[in-house]
Structure 1
Amino acid sequence: MRNYKTILLATMSFDIGGVETHVLELATGLRQLGYTPIVASNGGVYVAELKKRGIQHIKLPLHDKNPKNILDSYILFKKVIEKEQIDIVHAHARIPAFTLGLLHKTMKFPFVTSVHAPFSTSPIYRLNSNWGQASIAVSQDLKQYLIDNYKINPQNIFVTINGINPETFRKDLDTHSIEETFHIDTSKTIIGHISRLDRERSLVAQQLLDLASDLYAQQPNTQIVIVGDGADFEYIQTKANHINKQLSTNYIVMAGASTKVNQFLALTDIFVGVSRAALEAMCAKCPTIIAGNEGYIGIFDHTKLTTAMESNFTCRGEIMSNPQILLQDILSLIDLPDKIVLGEYNRSIVLKNYSIQKMTLDNIKLYDKVWAQL
């Protein structure tokens, strides 16, 4: 039996988001180990980074459930799999998993999926879900979600992590270009937030705007920087502009989508967010408040480690975030005398538990399982 080499990684888009950066780092890790990863998506700002790393990207209309796009993707996937002689197909989102699941019935390629978040379990979504021959979840609670809601055999579900590159996310990066472009004043305490700004993910960005005037009144030597784009961006930007006008200062910076996430984190003094973005911030030695649409853990320290790791830093199952508690935690961190110590601790947790090497090898074990079934 020959060994496999070419792996197709399919996701919806390649803009700012945890899934996209996960796929970027997985593809990089696979390439470093001698495999040939090919990424398929509807494109986005991170495509240039893929090409810079020598990884092929193929644009397919995988970004929505439009029947025409699904049909076009089905036809294009078939051509790609045949032309590129794909050995393993790995879907990282529900839409590409559905389309590839249909194609798998006739082409019989080794087919796996990643579970990055829980999806709706309504009957129509259950019917349209395809989890492949085996799946890999980015946290233990997501594995249990698959078992409970889709009755998948636990032996066919692996668990991995979000691998973070410590050379990419460091505190000692040159940030002058983004400081000048976005008028960020690093003499102030920078409150950073990075997320895709759509309905499922923009809650905390909006809460930062809700508390901005109170934070400025109590701590005028601060500035809020929000990085990301999405369906809610225009609304949030309009609201930020209104607040800036009221305060007569460039207090809230809306940076939009950017591939310079590591530079934004390098100049961030306090980060607010969840999941992969929170881990990247921790790797850059940022004191971090874990808060998102699914819940609120608060200031990350050794007392929150187990809770945060159980849900992959997403806050699933925790109390909901609100502007009042968020404001109090931001003020507490501003006054904290040993923020450097906390930042060092945060980076040590990422280095110990969230390496790209471990994430890549976990996925290879998944590929080995389905390849052995040929």
Structure 2
Amino acid sequence: MDFLIRTIVLNKVPTVIQVLPALNSGGVERGAVDIALAVKELGWVSIVVSEGGIMMKELERAEVEHIELPLSSKNPFTMHKNFNSLSSIIYDRKVDIVHARSRAPAWSAYYASKRFDTNFVTTFHGTYNYKDFIKKKYNSIMTKGKRVIAISKFIKNHIIEKYGIEAEKIVKIPRGIDLNSFDPTKVSHERIIQLSNSWRLSDGTQIIMLPGRLARWKGHKVLIEALGKLKRRDFRCIFVGSELGNENNKKYLIKIIRENNLSELVQFVNHCTDMPAAYMLSDIVVSASTDPEAFGRVSVEAQAMNRIIIASDHGGSSETIMNKKTGILFLNNNSDSLSKAINSALQMDIESRKKLGEAARNHVSSEYRLEYMQQSTIKLYQELI
């Protein structure tokens, strides 16, 4: 990686540890791995502390150290043990930066960092909604960093409005997309055919894909209702994402699908390991989240892959999509608005799709490259050391 940042000359190589609950799929995990690799490539010591998960393989390939601790636990006794363990790591490894990416591990990491006057950084990955003082107090740990990274303008404004944090302390660093991985020219026909066969898709049918776990707020119900209002039936809708922990919602969605006479047109696919190929299989990608996305990785990935993205007009998606120029925004939680947007996209001719797709990728390339996120984060680290 060709960083445009020159490493500060120090008496020792800087050490950065990142703490998060686990390393399974998700935006928090993706960001942690991307920064861990960048820190390692810069020649610094990079350590990730979590419960582990499927993304550990990426760390292992890059020879980034992983330390296993039960950081997803909210049990006070376990959190205190984590505090002691993190204190030992900070002291023994002479850590320069502790970067917390989630609330439970942040509590342990904050007090461990404070014990040794170690630089503490947080990334605010979501709105962390609260209904009472106790939950707000729990969330507030993410504002305790010497620098607080907000992954979008929406999140930065949320932090200022809800927690009263001074704007100067907050640094907006949007998530970054690996444009080498998410490059439509680098996805082979073999990968696309393999995935198409796995999903048992027929040729000549337009594909509408909603990527995201089957949580209620991800908007599957809104999309189903929108599809039910279409007069055409020449499409296939694919829900791509894990149902783990959301089995009851899947049952509910199947009921809604039947009520809208869409049983032959909508199918569920569990976790997909080749999302670039999944995007290439799709004609339209939908992000229908009824709660605002803090950033909205799906919206950016779809644009990077030259796909038509249709997303709820709130949260991060309102920032990452230029309406009717790089994608289409619809009224949040409004199936009529979504149905009209889908119908319009299905009717687009090849030239219009090509023009939209090219504009979308150029937009992502100029604003949301992975290298920009890595460089900005490391620059922040350097300013603190």
> TM-score range, shorter-chain basis?
0.7 to 0.9
Q: Secondary structure at the match of 2:184?
A: coil
Query: CA 1:99–1:335 in 2, change beyond 3 Å: closer, same or farther?
Result: same
Q: Secondary structure at the match of 2:207?
A: strand
Q: Give how far 1:240 is off.
A: 5.2
Structure with bigger RCO (C-alpha 8 Å, 6+ apart): 1
Q: Secondary structure at the match of 1:135?
A: strand
CA distance in 2, matches of 1:299, 1:323: 22
Q: Secondary structure at the match of 1:175?
A: helix
Of 50, 53, 58, 1:44 maps to 53
1:355-374 equivalent positions in 2, closer than 5 A: 355-371=369-385
CA distance in 2, matches of 1:162, 1:138: 6
Q: Which residue pairs with 1:209 in the alignment?
A: 224
Q: Give how far 1:230 is off.
A: 5.3
Note the alpha carbon deviations across 1:15-66, whole angstroms, 9 max, x for none: 3322222223222333333333322233333333333444333333233423
Q: Which amino acid aligns with 1:360?
A: Q
Note the alpha carbon deviations across 1:167-192, whole angstroms, 9 max, x for none: 11122412233222232345321111
- Determine whether 1:139 maps to 2:152: yes
Of 63, 71, 75, 1:62 maps to 71
Q: Which runs of 5+ in 2 are unaligned?
A: 1-9, 288-292
Query: CA 1:266–1:304 in 2, change beyond 3 Å: closer, same or farther?
Result: closer
Query: CA 1:186–1:155 in 2, change beyond 3 Å: closer, same or farther?
Result: farther
- Determine whether 1:15 maps to 2:24: yes
- Determine whether 1:195 maps to 2:212: yes
Check conservation: 1:146, 1:152, Cα contact below 8 A.
yes
CA distance in 1, matches of 2:224, 2:372: 37
Q: Give how far 1:8 is off.
A: 1.4
CA distance in 2, matches of 1:247, 1:63: 38
Q: TM-score, length-normalised on structure 1?
A: 0.83
Of 341, 344, 369, 1:329 maps to 341
Q: Give how far 1:365 is off.
A: 2.3
Q: Which amino acid aligns with 1:37?
A: S
Query: CA 1:350–1:295 in 2, change beyond 3 Å: closer, same or farther?
Result: closer
- Determine whether 1:157 maps to 2:178: no
Higher mean alpha-carbon deviation, 237-246 vs 224-233, is at 237-246
Query: CA 1:233–1:266 in 2, change beyond 3 Å: closer, same or farther?
Result: farther
Aligned CA RMSD, in angstroms, stands at 3.2
Q: Give how far 1:114 is off.
A: 0.8
Query: CA 1:99–1:80 in 2, change beyond 3 Å: closer, same or farther?
Result: same
Query: CA 1:90–1:369 in 2, change beyond 3 Å: closer, same or farther?
Result: same
CA distance in 1, matches of 2:175, 2:59: 18
Q: Which residue pairs with 2:38 in the alignment?
A: 29
Q: Which runs of 5+ in 1 are unaligned?
A: none
- Determine whether 1:181 maps to 2:198: yes
Q: Which amino acid aligns with 1:145?
A: H
CA distance in 2, matches of 1:298, 1:155: 21
Of 82, 93, 107, 1:73 maps to 82
In percent, how many aligned pairs have the same letter? 25
CA distance in 1, matches of 2:316, 2:360: 20
Q: TM-score, length-normalised on structure 2?
A: 0.81
Of 274, 295, 300, 1:279 maps to 300
Q: Which amino acid aligns with 1:134?
A: R
CA distance in 2, matches of 1:37, 1:127: 30
Check conservation: 1:24, 1:50, Cα contact below 8 A.
yes
Query: CA 1:335–1:323 in 2, change beyond 3 Å: closer, same or farther?
Result: same
Of 120, 135, 138, 1:125 maps to 135
CA distance in 2, matches of 1:141, 1:3: 38
- Determine whether 1:291 maps to 2:306: no
Q: Which amino acid aligns with 2:37?
A: T
Q: Give how far 1:302 is off.
A: 5.4
Check conservation: 1:16, 1:195, Cα contact below 8 A.
no
Q: Give how far 1:68 is off.
A: 4.1
